[in-house]
Structure 1
Amino acid sequence: MPSDIANRHETFKSSQAALRLYHGTKHCCDITKISDFSKLCQNSGCGVCGIIRYGPRLSNGYVWFGPCSSISDGYTGARPVGIMDPSIQVLRAIFVMDVVSATGSHGAYIVPNGEAALPRFLIIYSY
């Protein structure tokens, strides 16, 4: 995670309590190789690489989170974008994030700006 993104989040949360929430997203690349940041893809549809590179970005004015991973699982996509071969293992990705200023409603939380959330962990899984 770039230090400027982390610094903006730390400044934003300095006077507020943080929640640990989940954010499921789609991916377009081999997410098992993202430990090497030089291998982040450039596809604008890849949520995983976009969040690692830029932090959470607003969609329709908000960033959405779930209080548990099972809710966020529904937002990971059934298959990586552009891959339809059923023999390819389907990997899913959920970020665990520190979130401040979140408003909860109907089992989800939203924040009005990207500085309110900072990715702490990335869970990659299949089932």
Structure 2
Amino acid sequence: MLELSTCPQLSLLSNTNPEYIEIENHIRNTMSLVKIIAIIKIHLPKEPKNWSKKITQRVYHGTRAKCDPNDILEYGICCSDEFCGMCGILNYGNKSKFSKRGKNMWFSKSASIANSFSFNLNLPQDYLRTIFVIDVLNVSDNDTDIIIINHDNATLQRFLILYEF
């Protein structure tokens, strides 16, 4: 049995919201068959000083869910399972100590690449998938689809996308 905790403040975006439309359009550029169930804005309790003045890049991070993503959508409830990437990122942000790839965290400019890391460990394949929209401090102006970050304070989670095919 998973323990439950309250997630940070979240708000469900309407499909007419400009942020929703922007994210949806970007996702559909690489995943045209996706059915977006929800785009949820994450309201961080405390944003790092001067973050908005720093140069950032918006990227995607697909992660595993060990619990049912519907619990977040319906009840605002996160699980406390250490292997649930979705709830861990909601509660703590992207942390290198939880990375499955050494101390590096991988992000992509393409939602389709992030999708390959986005599945639910305990539920059938037709359940909701999860991708985060993350702002990262862009340490270099590289032209690759993959960005590797190894500093915890270089990322901020902005949106959670729940979707299916």
TM-score range for the pair, normalised by the shorter chain length:
0.7 to 0.9
Over the residues paired in the alignment, what is the CA RMSD in angstroms?
A: 2.1
1:82 aligns with 2:109: no
Report the TM-score, using the length of structure 1 for normalisation: 0.79
8 Å CA contact retained: 1:13, 1:116: no
Work out the percentage of aligned pairs sharing the same amino acid. Answer: 32
Q: Could you tell me which residue of structure 2 aligns to residue 99 of structure 1?
A: 136
Q: Which has the higher strand share?
A: 2
Q: 1:14 to 1:122 in 2, by over 3 A?
A: closer
Quote the offset at 1:114 in angstroms: 1.6
Correspondence for 1:73 among 101, 115, 133: 115
Q: Return the TM-score normalized by structure 2.
A: 0.62
Gaps of 5+ in 1: none
Question: Which residue of 21, 26, 51 maps to 2:59?
Answer: 21
- After TM superposition, give the deviation of residue 16 of structure 1 in Å: 2.6
Structure 2: runs of 5 or more not aligned: 1-7, 9-43
Q: 2:106 aligns with which of 49, 64, 70?
A: 64
Aligned length: 117
Q: Cα deviations across residues 34-65 of structure 1 (Å, max 9, x unaligned)? A: 1544x210111100100001111112112110
- Partner of 1:43: helix, strand, or coil? coil
